Amino acid sequence: QISIPSRSTVTNLRLKLPVACIILEVIIIILFGTLVQYDSDVDAKQWHKKINNGTSNYDNEFYYRYPSFQDVHVMIFIGFGFLMTFLQRYGFSSVGFNFLIAAFSLQWATLMQGFFHGMHGGKIHIGIESMINADFCTGAVLISFGAVLGKTSPVQLLVMAVIEVTLFSINEYVVLSVLEVSDAGGSMTIHTFGAYFGLMVTRVLYRPNLDKSQHKNCSVYNSDLFAMIGTIFLWMFWPSFNSAVTAHGDDQHRTAMNTYYSLAACTLATYGLSSVVAHDGKLDMVHIQNAALAGGVAVGTAGEMMLTPFGSMIVGFLAGTISVLGYKFLTPVLESKLKIQDTCGVHNLHGMPGVLGAIVGAITASVASMDVYGDGMDDVFPGIHSGQISASNQGVQQAISLAVTLGIALLGGLLTGFILKLPIYATPPDTICFEDSIYWEVPGEEDSHEELTHVRTAEEEEKINA
């Protein structure tokens, strides 16, 4: 009889997770108490001054933005969470850790984005729009979570979120405020940043013996069905995601419509390409769950521009095509040659389509004209409308923003990866990755309570088989 230490002694969270959660939340509460206050649409005194000056209650930003916020919130907590439940024994962790890091990230993002965008008189003013933007930032963190799914502890994920939210906010400020580019749906600031940040983290955290857990790095019938729930929620609400913070009126209307048609074209491309490249012409559920969403990613930057439904469909079709081909041919190369173990394939759903979206945005911006936009140019490209910058220069700045985003994401991911390599986070060993029972009480898993695991010797196996 041979006894080995239980997995619980290796990955025990009894002290590490409570300390991380409590310390981080206390810090956030203190910062909120010191720095944060309601904006004029939320504050009772300030809003009623507006009412006394003739403003209607129905002019409150809440009524314009809250429906979009609801949709984005569902995407963050249900869409992203259930999309990652495809692993056969990692459903609790996919949804549960998604819940944890999203709840933390939206609070931290409110502070970090406020430091750069919302400071007035030394205070961060928050309202419904800051809630949406915090969810956007959280989306980038959850994209990175997909790259390291199954191989990291919740403490590591919280540390990653602290750093990534901070760097996301810096990159967002540089891209949107300094370079003054258009990126309504976040092809660059959310998807490209989140994907390449996560890819660099998982590269630094490369596990040479991950093949010992490879038999659990796959799906079963029910897990794929749950993952499709996430796909459908994301697919349905993506028009709201891309249009949530665009200007009211035609801009928001146009962004939702462009995303709607891009997703539809992307889905047809996904089904067609999946049948072409998969074995015996059968559809691959991995492609359907992920690549069908790439059209929403790729139309994010140019969504509020005059892309036209025709252009949106082309973008969506291209996004679905490159995403399926990426899953089939590029992902194995990334793992074997570059040692990038991308669990969810975020490079194919968010990385490459995000870069495509940034390129489409740069091209579309470079040909923008007053003949096409009229006075609507002021909403989409105020610099062009005022004459401060030409359309071609706007296109160049859009391209520069892509390079800046990639640079900050890759360097930030590199730094974060080395921090997460420190042996202090209750990280699962290579032999028990992609396994819920190391961190969760799983029904029916009696051995999860045992301190020692009995391993049969060869003689005992022979007796049992006889």
Q: Is residue 282 within 8 Å of 275, Cβ to Cβ?
A: yes
Angular region, 129: left φ>0, alpha ψ -120 to 50, beta rest: alpha
- Whether 207 is covered by a domain: the verdict is yes
pLDDT tens figures, 328-378: 999 999 999 999 999 999 999 999 999 999 999 999 999 999 999 999 999
Question: Position 172: which residue type?
Answer: E
For residue 241, name the pLDDT band (cuts at 50, 70, 90). very high
For residue 454, name the pLDDT band (cuts at 50, 70, 90). very low
pLDDT tens figures, 371-422: 999 999 999 999 999 999 999 999 999 999 999 999 999 999 999 999 999 9
Residues 6+ apart with CB under 8 A from 135: 69, 72, 73, 76, 106
| pLDDT reported for residue 377 | 96
Does the pLDDT value for residue 457 go beyond 70? Answer: no
- Whether 283 is covered by a domain: the verdict is yes
- Whether 82 is covered by a domain: the verdict is yes
CA distances from 79 to 32, 89, 241 (A): 28, 19, 12
For residue 11, name the pLDDT band (cuts at 50, 70, 90). confident
| pLDDT reported for residue 449 | 43
Place of tokens 């020692």: 452
| pLDDT reported for residue 452 | 41
- Whether 452 is covered by a domain: the verdict is no
Does the pLDDT value for residue 292 go beyond 80? Answer: yes
pTM, rounded to two decimals: 0.93
- Whether 205 is covered by a domain: the verdict is yes
Percent of the chain's residues with pLDDT above 70: 93
Burial of 67-92, coded b for 16+ CB within 10 Å and e otherwise, reads ebbebbbbbbbbbbbbbbbbbbbbbe
| pLDDT reported for residue 451 | 41
| pLDDT reported for residue 444 | 78
Does the pLDDT value for residue 120 go beyond 60? Answer: yes
Place of tokens 């042996």: 423
Question: Position 253: which residue type?
Answer: H
290 token code pair? 């992920």
Q: How far apart are CA 65 and CA 252, in angstroms?
A: 11
Contacts of 366-371 with C-beta under 8 Å, sequence gap 24+, read: 366/391, 366/392, 366/394, 366/395, 366/396, 366/398, 367/391, 367/395, 368/305, 368/306, 368/394
Does the pLDDT value for residue 289 go beyond 50? Answer: yes
| pLDDT reported for residue 121 | 86
pLDDT tens figures, 16-63: 999 999 999 999 999 999 999 999 999 999 999 999 999 999 999 999
343 token code pair? 């669990």
Q: How far apart are CA 144 and CA 343, in angstroms?
A: 10
99 token code pair? 């819940």
Q: How far apart are CA 68 and CA 207, in angstroms?
A: 40
Does the pLDDT value for residue 10 go beyond 80? Answer: no
- Whether 321 is covered by a domain: the verdict is yes
- Whether 451 is covered by a domain: the verdict is no
Q: How many domains does the chain have?
A: 1
Q: How far apart are CA 448 and CA 244, in angstroms?
A: 44
Percent of the chain's residues with pLDDT above 90: 89
| pLDDT reported for residue 21 | 97
Identify the three-state secondary structure at position 224.
Answer: helix
Supply the CATH number for residue 249's domain. 1.10.3430.10
| pLDDT reported for residue 286 | 96
Q: Is residue 88 within 8 Å of 220, Cβ to Cβ?
A: yes
Across the chain, mean pLDDT equals 93
**What is 136-151 written as a DSSP string?**
HHHHHHHHHHHHSTTS
- Whether 379 is covered by a domain: the verdict is yes
Q: Which domain holds residue 218?
A: 8-42+61-435
Integer-rounded Cα radius of gyration of the chain: 23
| pLDDT reported for residue 462 | 55
Does the pLDDT value for residue 446 go beyond 80? Answer: no
| pLDDT reported for residue 5 | 44
CA distances from 251 to 243, 343, 373 (A): 8, 36, 11
| pLDDT reported for residue 2 | 41
More confident residue, 161 or 459: 161
Packing angle, helices 250-277 and 308-325, rounded to 10: 40
For residue 117, name the pLDDT band (cuts at 50, 70, 90). confident
For residue 251, name the pLDDT band (cuts at 50, 70, 90). very high
Q: Is residue 278 within 8 Å of 323, Cβ to Cβ?
A: no
| pLDDT reported for residue 7 | 53
Does the pLDDT value for residue 76 go beyond 60? Answer: yes
